[in-house]
Every structure is written in C-alpha cells, then in structure tokens.
Structure 1
Amino acid sequence: MPVKAVTHLNFRGDARAALTFYQSVFGGDVAVVTYKDAGNVQDPSDADHVMWGQVAAASGFAVMAYDVPARQPWHPGENAFFVSLRGDAADEVTAYWERLSDGAAVLRPLGPAPWAPLYGMLKDRYGVVWVVDVATEPTAH
C-alpha cells in the first residue's frame, strides 16, 4: 500500500496565500479545509484560516500547510514545518505510528478525527514533529 511523506508547512494566517503561490509555481490542485469547515472554531479569528490544506501536482510535487491556531504560540521560523505521513491503510499507518512513538512525546493520540479515519501527532525522539493519518479525498474550497 502506498505511503507518502510530505512537508507540512506552518503559518499564522498566510497558509492559503502560500498554497496559492506554490500552485502558481508548481501547478496542480489546491485543497483547503478551514477551521469553520471542520467545525473546529475555538477562536473567532481562526474561522476562515486553513486547518488543513495542500497542493498536489501531477508531477509528484506536494506540500501541505495550515494556520497555527491563535491559542497556540507560533513564531516565524520556529516550528516552521511538520512531516506529514499519509497512507491508505489503517493497519499500515498504525504500525508506522507505533514505531515512531518509541521514545516520542505524543501530542495527539492516533484516533478518529473529523477529517480522517485516523490522525495523530507526535514529536519523535529527535524533536521532529510528525502528523500521521489515513488519507481521504480532500474537498476543495
């Protein structure tokens, strides 16, 4: 089963503009889910910000991005990216999660999420933050 690792960029309010820019450079399709779309608005200023977004091109280029919620600290250049590990099969993704979890700090346990059958976030023993999920077809907005 295919599994893909993609750079996941973090912004504060600029994710949509960045994704649009990267699409203009590399081509492909942009898909965006806002905090409002996902029913996850905890601060009104986040409602139209990107909770999950990606550009995917036929060439194989892919990048993901989101806007860090207002309630979380964020400074440009610090924690500028995650590694997103996506797969089609829950058992395969779970196996990777279990191995990555060894010595890691689990930031969000692997489990169902509004946008994916399985989603989790951890900081591995080397300080790299991984977002791990079972891929679903994105809905462009």
Structure 2
Amino acid sequence: MTVNAVTHLNFRGEARAALTFYQAVFGGTQTVVTYKEAGAVEEPAEADRVIWGQVVSDAGFRVMAFDVPSRRPWHPGEAAFFVSVRGESAGEITAYWEKLVEGATVLQPLAPSVWSPLYGMVTDRFGITWVLDVAGDPAAR
C-alpha cells in the first residue's frame, strides 16, 4: 500500500483558473468536477464552480483545488489549503480516518463521492483540515 500527502488549495471562484495555470507551468493532466456534476449545488450561481479538481504530472507534481462554497467562511490567505491524504484502499483510508477523528470536527463524513470510492474531510484537534480519499478515476464513475 502507498499513501500520498497532497497540497489541496482552496479558492472562491478561481480554482479552475488556478488549476489551468498550474497545468501550464508543470504539465500533466487536469481533472475538474463541478458542484453541478457532483449533485451538490446549494447556490445556483456556484453550480459550475469546482467541488474537486487536480493536476497530476508524470514528473511527480500533484496539486488539488476546490472553490469554497459561499455558505462557508473563506478569506484569501486564511484556510488556504488542506492536507490531502490519498490511498489505494478503503481499509487504509478508514484506518487513518478513525485515528484523525478523535477529538476532531467532521466536516464531511467518510463516504463515496463523485470523484472517489471513499472521501471524507475532518478538522483535527489542532485545527488542521485533512481530506482523505481512495484514489479513483473520476471519468470511470
């Protein structure tokens, strides 16, 4: 089993442009899932914003990004990133999840998502927000 820790950048309406820029800089493949595609639209004006996206290059560069929805507070430079832990199996990710949630605030329960067979988000007792998921091919869903 392997696990990757990936920087997960947070924006408000600029995630797609940022991912396009990073792809132009580092090369690789860009994947974007919108709130509409995920069936998670709460504010119609945000339907085409990014709920999950990434750029992955053959050279090893990887970054993820999303647009923080307007219902959640966000200010540039504050909560600008998450730590994303991506594993190969549900068992591996569930084991990490069960340890991280002790004394934590669960923001998104561990469950299947549009881009991953298993995904969850938790802010640990130190105030760090972690995104855990099982690597999957969003195009195959």
Fold conserved between structures, TM > 0.5: yes
2 CA distance for matches of 1:102 and 1:128? Answer: 13
Partner of 2:32: 32
Q: Is the Cα–Cα contact under 8 Å of residues 54 and 62 in structure 1 kept in the other structure?
A: yes
Q: Which amino acid aligns with 2:96?
A: Y
User: How many pairs are equivalent?
Assistant: 139
In structure 1, stretches of 5+ residues that fail to align are none
Q: Return the TM-score normalized by structure 2.
A: 0.93
Partner of 1:134: 134
Alpha-carbon distance, 1:133 to partner = 1.0
1 CA distance for matches of 2:15 and 2:117? Answer: 24
Q: Which amino acid aligns with 2:108?
A: R
Alpha-carbon distance, 1:114 to partner = 3.4
Q: Which amino acid aligns with 2:130?
A: W
Partner of 2:79: 79
2 CA distance for matches of 1:37 and 1:131? Answer: 20
Q: Which runs of structure 1 show a deviation greater than 3 angstroms over 4 or more consecutive aligned residues? A: none
Identical aligned residues as a percent: 66
2 CA distance for matches of 1:128 and 1:8? Answer: 12
Partner of 2:64: 64
Partner of 2:107: 107
Q: Is the Cα–Cα contact under 8 Å of residues 45 and 70 in structure 1 kept in the other structure?
A: no
> C-alpha root-mean-square deviation of aligned residues, in Å?
1.1
Q: Return the TM-score normalized by structure 1.
A: 0.93
Deviations along 1:75-134, one digit per CA (max 9) or x if unpaired, are 111110001111110001100111112222222221223332221111112111001111
Q: Is the Cα–Cα contact under 8 Å of residues 4 and 86 in structure 2 kept in the other structure?
A: yes
Partner of 2:11: 11
In structure 2, stretches of 5+ residues that fail to align are none
